[in-house]
Amino acid sequence: MLIGRFLENLASKVVLYFSAIIAILIVLANIVGIFTFQDLLKFNSTYEIILIIGIFIAILFCSRYLYKIKDEKRFIIALFLVGFIVRLVSVIIIKTEPVSDFKILYDAANNISSGDYNSVLSNGYFNLWVYQLGFTGYLTVLIKLFGNSVFMIKVINCIVVSLIPLVIYYSAKLIVSKKSAKIVSLAYCFYIGSIVTTSVLTNQHMATLFFYLSIYLLLSNLNGAIKWILVGVCLGLGQFFRPEGAIVILAILLFLLFKNISSLKETTKNIAGGIAAFLIMTLMMQGFSAIFIRAGITKYNLSNRDPLWKFSCGLNPDTKGLYSVEDDAFIGSYEGGRKEANMILIKERIKDPKAIIKTMVYKTSVMWADDDTSLSFAFTDDVSYRNMYDTTIKIEKIQYIIVFIVFTLSIVMMLTRREKFLKNYIYLIIFLGYFFAHLLIEVQTRYRYFSIPIFFIISAYGIDNLIKDK
């Protein structure tokens, strides 16, 4: 029992200290970025300043009105409806067209819906990144139901993304008071990054919803087999849309291991449940793979058939961990195959530890402190939406910095209060996993989309303690 308590306290300190150090460094990186190379303080006109202030006042006014709704059911309905309406208006105003990878997936969905499987089967993109067929299949179903309408897909996105603030509310309520849960769910509801990117045909929306729903179910008061079945199903659906389940399932297992580790019986039961959820996720992915293979859309399981590519990019000192055209060309033309080509690049790059460290520092700055590039995929018409894009970038950056500062202060509060291994530690474990993973693999600022809800949920802890102290 004493050993168990020691390990629980040790795990608590490791999670908190690492999270605090990393969060503080990211805050500093954002502050440095503001006063050096970013355009946050460079306004195009007085009108833009007035507009930004007006938008924040409008957000505060709406949030205050919704916050005052005492009945929980009415609040939840209002939270969803307002989130949906705001995102629908954004979709209508911003005429986003599928570009880059999103266009590849959309075009493939159109081909599959028309019966043209060969164009997908022979496509090198899907032969390597087979997991992308999960979201492609989802788009195919929507096209079958609503016709070849990008707008209808965006409307469905509005529904999906508007459910995320609800998951944040219920998740935060497991940790803090309803008041604090309301505040952070409303903050995410009006988070401009979430609003604007709703029009982008990305697999991140569905994956984020299901992965965070799985964590909520894990922490909920559900008991018995039904709990682990539902957790496993949500993990499976999240993995189907975007393969980020490895980080989530590892976080779940570590959380279950160290929470209540002083009780061997409880720990064993929890670990068994976590393994069961993992097996359900795995079986679901195998089932989805079998469906696509039997349909003749692919010859392979829904997986990444070139996992080393992300590491080749991520360790590239010339591109600072970003996508490399030269690496792509080299690997694609190498006679020995992609695996061998990737290993050549990786082995060459790990020979220079100093270059790797510099690359990791730069990647951290880009990933966690640079402007969110996901917004650029929404504003595909650079000419028509130039001013709107510039203003939106500034609003998102202000919101991001504020929530990250509160997130950091919340972690510091956890440290000072010396509390035991809490429920919300699972979110910090995921954050740490996500952070360390992107030290090694390719980075893009749009990849941080998945981690954003964590900052809001953890921020609820700090807000709640400030309310209690008053």
DSSP string, 195-250: HHGGGS--THHHHHHHHHHHHHHHHSS--SHHHHHHHHHHHHHHHHHS--HHHHHH
Q: What's the mean pLDDT when you consider all of the chain?
A: 90
Between CA 431 and CA 437 the distance in angstroms is: 10
Per-residue pLDDT at 137 exceeds 70: yes
Residue 173 has pLDDT above 90, yes or no: yes
Q: How far apart are CA 413 and CA 415, in angstroms?
A: 5
Q: Is the per-residue pLDDT at 262 higher than 80?
A: no
In which band, very low, low, confident or very high, does the pLDDT at 469 lie, cut at 50, 70 and 90?
low
Span 359-411, pLDDT tens digits: 999 999 989 998 888 888 999 877 677 788 888 998 999 999 999 999 999 99
On whether the CB atoms of residues 218 and 167 are closer than 8 A, the answer is no
pLDDT at 1 over 90: no
**pLDDT score recorded for residue 454:** 97
User: Per DSSP, what are the bridge partners of residue 304?
Assistant: 129
The arithmetic mean of pLDDT across residues 227-241, rounded, is: 96
The helix or strand, by DSSP H or E, that contains position 170, with its residue range, turns out to be: helix 150-173
* Total count of residues recorded for the chain: 470
Query: What token pair was written down for 405?
Result: 């500062």
Backbone angles phi, psi at 442, to 5 degrees: -55, 145
Instruction: Please state, in angstroms and rounded to a whole number, the distance separating the CA atoms of residues 219 and 208.
Output: 17
What's the confidence (pLDDT) of residue 389?
87
Average pLDDT of span 123-148: 93
pLDDT at 37 over 70: no
